Amino acid sequence: MKPDRRKHQRIARPFEGTWKGASGANKCRINDLSIGGCFVETLATPAAGEETQVTILVGSEHSMTFAGKVLYVEPKMGFAVKFHELTGDGPGQLARVLEALAIPEHK
């Protein structure tokens, strides 16, 4: 088993979203979301090292888009993205959103 190299706490539940890069764009499912990056589940994948944008759908009316770099690709599964460093209040805003998303949904 590989050691976990992530610096930030992650949210393991899936979110719907899209990704867009030089090699194309597609709908996807986003897992293991953290301030530092995420894993994008999709059959069509970009190349490792490619710049990409990941848009995460939050509810039916909100979305968040992050730019990053593809770290590695798992064929027929998806790819890992490391987000570019956020500036200004970006990290604080994202941390608050991630904290809210981590709360289990009540029905």
Q: What is the pLDDT of residues 49-90, one digit of tens each?
A: 999 999 988 777 788 888 999 999 999 999 999 998 766 666
Residue range(s) defining the domain that contains residue 47? 15-102
Calpha distance 69→48 (Å, rounded):
8
- Closest to 6 measured CA to CA, from 30, 41, 33, 42: 33
Domain-embedded: residue 107: no
User: How many beta carbons lie within 10 A of that of residue 42, not counting itself?
Assistant: 19
> CA end-to-end span of the chain, whole Å?
36
| Secondary structure in 3-state letters for 22-90 | CCEEEEEEEECECCCEEEEECCCCCCCCCEEEEEEEECCCEEEEEEEEEEEEECCCEEEEEECCCCCCH
CB–CB of 15/34 below 8 Å?
Answer: no
Domain-embedded: residue 7: no
Quote the pTM value.
0.79
Domain-embedded: residue 35: yes
Q: Which residue has the higher pLDDT, 27 or 93?
A: 27
Q: How many domains does the chain have?
A: 1
What CATH number is attached to the domain comprising 36? 2.40.10.220
Q: How much is the pLDDT for 12?
A: 79
Across the chain, mean pLDDT equals 81
Q: How much is the pLDDT for 95?
A: 72
